[in-house]
Structure formats: C-alpha cells, structure tokens
Amino acid sequence: MSKKPESQIFQFEQEIAWESPSPGIERQIFGYDDRVMLVKVKFEKGAVGTMHQHPHTQVTYVESGAFEFTIGNETRIIRAGDGCYMPSNVMHGCTCLEAGVLIDTFSPHREDFLS
C-alpha cells in the first residue's frame, strides 16, 4: 500500500521553494493531503493564468492586487479581499491587472503540482 500524500504539519513561507509554472507567475505549495491543498500564487502585472480546466474544485482568495477572471462564460474583475469559486471541469483563467497574490485551495489535492 502506498503512503498517502501529506505535507508537514506546519509550513513556513521562507522555507518553501518558489516554483515558476509560467512567465510572471510563481507559486508556493503549502499544506495538503489527498483531499485538499493550499497554494500561494504571485503574479506580475500582465501575467496570464491561461484558460484551463481540471477535475479539482478550486476556491481562490485575492490577498493583493487585481485580476480579471473568466470562469465558464462569465468574466469579472476581483481585487484584494474578493474571491471566486471554480467548479470541477469548468474552464477558467485570469489576467493580472495589478501585481498581486492569490491564495488557491484545491479539492482533492493537485497531484500534478507535487510531481
């Protein structure tokens, strides 16, 4: 039987490596197990989170900055203090209008982020 994926109990920002999945975007993977994952994503102004879909449910909180999000057929601008919900398998993406940070949660965890 394989071990279930699981992060350390505590995560410290300065100890977590930044990954660069695409130009102008960096992410840190915080706590996770096989059911949930928390990811911090830093965007430079103009960076694009390309339209995509995945089987995971996603909830995003805007820690700072401003983003134009498209989820399904709806496009809205969200700013610090706002959030959005992406149902499973719904196309979504964003463009960063003002440099900022998103806090993403996924259920279940993103295996592709751990490989």
pLDDT digits (tens, 9 = 90+) for 69-83: 999 999 999 999 999
Residue 65 lies in a domain: yes
Cβ–Cβ under 8 Å, residues 62 and 81: yes
pLDDT tens digits along 10-65: 999 999 999 999 999 999 999 999 999 999 999 999 999 999 999 999 999 999 99
Domain count for the chain, please give it: 1
What CATH number has the domain bearing residue 67? 2.60.120.10
Residue 67, pLDDT above cutoff 60? yes
Query: What pTM was estimated for this model as a whole?
Result: 0.93
Q: Which of 110, 97, 83, 86 is nearest to 27 (CA)?
A: 110
Tokens coding 37: 């994952």
The confidence score (pLDDT) of residue 115 equals: 82
The reply to whether 1 falls in a domain is: no
CB of 76 closer than 8 Å to CB of 107? no
Tokens representing 70 are: 């498209």
